[in-house]
Amino acid sequence: MVQESQHAAAVLEEQAFLDQALARHSQLLAHLESEASALPTSVEAQARGALLRRRHRELDQARKGLVFGRIDALDGTVRRIGRVGVSNQDEHADPLVLDWRAAAARPFYTATPLQPEGQSRRRHVLVEAATVTGVNDEPLSGGTDNGLVGEGALLSALGQRRTGQMSAAIATLQREQDDIIRAEADGPLIVQGGPGTGKTVVALHRVAYLLFTHEQIADQAVLVLGPSHRFLDYIAQVLPALGETAVVSATCDTLLPGVRVTRSESREQAEIKGREQWQPAIEAYVASLLPAPEDLKVRWEGEQHEVSAARVHQLLTAVRQRPYHQARQVFSGQFREVLTDIIVQARETLLDEVDEGYEDILARFTDGAGTESALTEDEVDEIRESVAASAEVTAVIQAWWPTLEPGLVLRNLLNSKEFLKGHLTGDETALVGCGPSGWASSDIPLLDAVAHELGDAAAPEPGGEFIADRARRQRNWVYGHVVIDEAQELSGMQWQMVLRRCPSRSITAVGDIDQTEAAHRRTSWAQAVGGVFGERWNAAELTICYRTPIEVMDLTGPVLQKAGSLNSPPRAVRSSGFAPWESSVRPEELAAAAQEAVQAMQQRWNGGTVGVVAPHARIAELAAALPGLPVLTSSEAKGLEWDAALVVDPHAIAAEPRGWNRLYVALTRCTQELAQIHLPADV
């Protein structure tokens, strides 16, 4: 009874504070609305208005989770932790609610009984809507340290039903996760983490932390690259819930504006096209498209003028290090200046010739003072302006140095066998080519490289009011930071795509090298990123599996061994209480067996989610038998999680390319229950 009364008193205490915080929250929203509506219509006020609207949106979206934690210091200081900071009415007082990303909030994620960091207690506050439903207190003095922070709240969250969308985890982040989230962003950080270690949680919360902490990154936006549209839909609510909007989410296939994948190709072709050696080959090919110097003749106001090949060569040499179209733009300006000088010199020469023979006559009218045949500055400026606007000059330059379309250039390159033989090794050129229409996934990085070397022929269209809208529309946008999930899948040329968008190399890449399914042959992170970063990258590791239960992780050892893993599997810290089960059926019984298994799982995990992972050859059959249920290949299921997972025909999955890696993915999608249906091996 004493504990119950203490818990009830704590709930009332936190409810009173939550009511206070929500009232202040509403007050701040009203103030932001009032200030934004009162702004004048000047250009300066527009920037202020955008800032106010962003802050309003952050506050409004943070209503859910406004307060989720509390830390009590040994000196009696109490701090509440929330999704965003809420200021106190007294501007000189500490914030009413401390933003989870603030340095002062870090002990909430890192303090342990062995290292309390000056804290006596951590409290997780459970809230539904505007009501405190419970608290979970954790003393930080004495006791043992099992590596978990806020174990009760963490295991409670992990035991909740899955909804089909990822949610923020700022209330239950663990120390090794928080260390990565708050790591410096001054270079590439590669994070290795097995299934259920929270790689995606870390990646997304790192985005929110960096945008909060580094103003320059927020000004440039953050690019989040995921493996699939399904995955991006799954995580779509996380960053807005954390109050962040300066984020562009994409896959490597959708990163190039206006270009989409419309055809497939063999894994062998994809592997060849993904190699880093394409980068210098593309640079050399585009450089070969620059025009050769020649005499350029221009008709201007009825007269023909010529810029010699030698002078053209000088101008061309000065700009050839620039992208193709930018080089032409600079050349065009310089060419017009040279042409202006030639025209001016021709005019003055003509005037000199006219003056000759009339010297005696002109001398009588000028008292022998002589004549001046040079054009005035105004006359020269008039010629310069006319040449600058001349359509005839533009036509001459365009004919000699034409605008090129990236797609056509890439098609010509892929079909230029002789050129490729000089830049690719072995007999790969026999497998490289490009059809008359459509792009494969491996073509997108090549097309991006061509577009970069060509440069934009015209200025990009303006985007929207928000930074993410502008960044999304521009191929050459430079991001403040890039976060990559399932980074082990990227080819060498996809890494080049990333580097072009973040030349500062402020990059966080998370993944599991043991879950690699891509066509490339890399089996270590050094192989995966060495081609783009060399040895200049930092490594981190997530070692604890929070999501996948012990019962399932115990099955993965032999699978990892057959996959050739060099890593230790993560340590699972929770049991679901459900032993994995399996059955064997004949092919004609598969649909009925799958239906029966799924129905039983749905009943056991009512309110949660069930998913099916199968080999590619079985997807159509199972999707027809299980309408409305996610029936996916292991590649499509990567990064997703369900309460219960049914793996169909695991032997066939293992027989697919990188099959043991695929099976490792398939077996680790559940948070509670795993089932397997086997088919005869000879089917």
User: Which residues belong to the annotated binding site?
Assistant: 193-200
Count the residues in the chain: 683
Select from 138, 203, 199 the least CA-distant residue to 548.
199
Encoding tokens for residue 425?
A: 């090794």
Select from 92, 99, 88, 104 the least CA-distant residue to 25.
88
Whether 167 contacts 237, CB under 8 Å: yes
Q: How many CA atoms lie within 13 A of 401 on its CB side?
A: 27
Which burial class, exposed, middle or buried, applies to 403 when counting CB atoms under 10 A from its CB (0-12, 13-18, 19+)? exposed
Pairwise CA distance, residues 265 & 385, whole Å: 53
Whether 632 contacts 612, CB under 8 Å: yes
Amino acid identity, residue 457?
A
Whether 286 contacts 409, CB under 8 Å: yes
Pairwise CA distance, residues 200 & 640, whole Å: 10
Handedness of CA 123, 128, 131, 133 (dihedral sign): negative
Select from 95, 83, 130, 125 the least CA-distant residue to 240.
83
Pairwise CA distance, residues 313 & 295, whole Å: 10
Q: How many CA atoms lie within 13 A of 419 on its CB side?
A: 20
Amino acid identity, residue 549?
P
Pairwise CA distance, residues 371 & 359, whole Å: 9
CA distances from 354 to 350, 359, 376 (A): 6, 10, 17
CB atoms within 10 A of CB 303: 11
Whether 144 contacts 157, CB under 8 Å: no
Encoding tokens for residue 647?
A: 């793996």
Whether 138 contacts 152, CB under 8 Å: yes
Cα-Cα-Cα-Cα torsion 411, 413, 415, 416, nearest 10 degrees, comes to 160
Binding residues for ATP, as ranges, are 193-200
> Strand order in 222-225's β-sheet?
247-250, 222-225, 481-485, 507-511, 189-193, 538-542
Residue/partner pairs of 548-551 with CB below 8 Å, 24 or more apart:
548/195, 548/196, 548/572, 548/668, 548/670, 548/671, 549/574, 549/575, 549/576, 549/578, 549/670, 549/671, 549/672, 550/574, 550/575, 551/575, 551/576, 551/578, 551/579, 551/580, 551/674
